[in-house]
């Protein structure tokens, strides 16, 4: 299982939002490049970047920061947030992003997803945000009537190889992941599952390893010190 530190970008800074709410922002660093270097120095092999400005407006304001991070660390980087067109994917690929994460558009714009998979194959990752087992859309502002498992199965059929699964009720709350839903998703799919949301302790990480998910994205717990990244390799 790959441990993937998360760096959320807003206005060029490293931040965390509580439950995805932009008016509940905590700034954890004015220099995201230094934050990336810190996680790399502690043994991270992958970084998860989210462009919150792009997620909100559809236009990236952090491309230069993302590029600087990629040029500053010798590890792989995946980026999500506001990826809604082939042009936005191409832009990320050109600056050196290893994998591009498509969220809402993967659910609502299937032709776009199919084209992205055909063009970029394994460089495309899809993110499903869910609450109570149902898909959340548009930056978590809308809970659909689509079951997350059904949507995930459809994504697998289309050709998605890697899925980020986030329980939004858990994200940023330091209350532990939704192991029950993760197990349902893992047991019913054959694709790679990356767990996200609520990972709070070394115990959580150990339990995710037992579930045999392919990756775990950790955000707030790293910034608060609940989890020490350099110690996770011994878990």
The residue annotated as part of the active site, out of 51, 53, 129, 167, is 129
Question: Quick check: 97 and 66 in contact, CB under 8 A?
Answer: yes
For residue 129, indicate whether it is catalytic.
yes
Q: Exposed, middle or buried: residue 61 (CB in 10 Å: 0-12, 13-18, 19+)? A: middle
Known catalytic residues are 8, 129
């Amino acid at each position: 299982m790959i441990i993937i530190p998360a760096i959320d970008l807003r206005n060029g800074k490293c931040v965390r939002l509580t439950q995805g709410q932009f008016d509940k922002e905590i700034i954890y660093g004015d220099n995201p490049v230094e934050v990336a270097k810190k996680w790399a120095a502690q043994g991270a092999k992958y970084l998860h970047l989210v462009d919150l400005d792009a997620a909100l407006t559809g236009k990236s304001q952090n491309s230069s920061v993302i590029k600087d991070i990629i040029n500053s660390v010798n590890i792989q980087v995946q980026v999500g947030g506001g990826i809604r067109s082939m042009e936005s994917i191409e832009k990320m690929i050109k600056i050196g992003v290893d994998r591009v994460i498509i969220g809402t558009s993967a659910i609502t714009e299937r032709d776009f997803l199919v084209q992205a998979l055909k063009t970029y194959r394994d460089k495309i990752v899809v993110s499903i945000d869910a609450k109570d087992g149902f898909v959340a859309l548009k930056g978590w502002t809308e809970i659909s009537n689509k079951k997350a498992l059904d949507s995930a199965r459809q994504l697998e059929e289309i050709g998605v190889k890697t899925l980020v699964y986030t329980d939004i009720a858990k994200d940023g709350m330091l209350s532990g992941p939704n192991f029950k839903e993760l197990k349902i998703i893992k047991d019913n799919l054959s694709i790679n599952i990356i767990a996200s949301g609520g990972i709070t302790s070394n115990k959580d990480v150990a339990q995710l390893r037992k579930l045999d998910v392919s990756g775990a994205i950790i955000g707030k717990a790293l910034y608060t010190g609940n989890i020490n990244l350099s110690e996770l390799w011994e878990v």
